[in-house]
Amino acid sequence: MPNEDEMTGISTEVTTIDRREMIRRVGFLLGGLTFVGGTSLLTACEKGHNVVQAGDQVGQFTRADQDFLAEVADTILPPTKTPGAKAAGVGPFMAVMVTDCYEPKDQQIFRTGMQQLDAACRKANNVSFMQATPQQRLTLLEALDKEQKTYTDAIDAARRARQKAGTGDTTTTIAAKKAQAQLPDQRKEGGLGADVGTATAITADSPTHYFRMMKELTLLGYFTSEIGCKQAQRYAETPGRYDPCVPYKPGDKAWAPHA
């Protein structure tokens, strides 16, 4: 999981251009994935939409749902020297983004994923996610994170292979087969993410893993918030003067983009 000091916060007034830059950074933090063919997050941020206000009920998300998402986000980005994802309001942010911007099929994957995550916690710890200890939550999400990474790599390789089809380049086809082979057998046998994608074979059109969605929105919500910009990063309001060379010392925080 990324260190919380690299992230968090919430601004509902982020423009499409700012969101695209944040998506690029989120992709880097998630392992440098190139959004070949797009993802639910990229599609959401490019889509024209109406503004949905956070509240006790956001679309199909109840206050309890938002609290659940806040705890998931806070496990990904816990408080350390700076406030964590929950303090930045990432739970309600996720509910707003999914309701406001995601396509219906992706909304369903996300909401079903919440149930799958809780069921996986009950299976592993005999308690719900909300009742689990911080260590139990972390162990579960680390396992899900590894699963979504392997799953996403397989989709990415399949998309590249499809793009290369007809060119005689077999490199990406081989990569796609290798990624598919690395998928854990337990996913096909009722593992943590067994319900992600009804087919056992991963293709270029397989749906996004629900935990990938949650992690993307956690990072996006944190980095576009006031806490994320001003406390987890260094922030300078722009426009300002042009500084072609800025001294850098190892350990300095990244500069926050203009929100």
Query: 244: cis peptide before it, omega within 30°?
Result: no
92: helix, strand or coil: helix
Task: Identify the top-confidence range among 13-17, 132-136, 154-158.
Answer: 132-136
What lies within 8 Å, CB to CB, of 46 at 6+ separation is 16, 20
Lowest mean pLDDT among 93-102, 157-166, 193-202, 211-220: 193-202
- Extents of the domains making up the chain: 4-232
User: Is 55 in contact with 183 (CB distance < 8 Å)?
Assistant: no
Provide mean pLDDT across the span 105-126.
96
- pTM higher than 0.75: no
Instruction: Give the span between the Cα atoms of 16 and 46, in whole angstroms.
Output: 6
Encoded amino acid at 71, one letter? E
Residue pair 52/96 in contact (Cβ under 8 Å)? The answer is yes
Confidence band of 45 (pLDDT split at 50, 70, 90): low
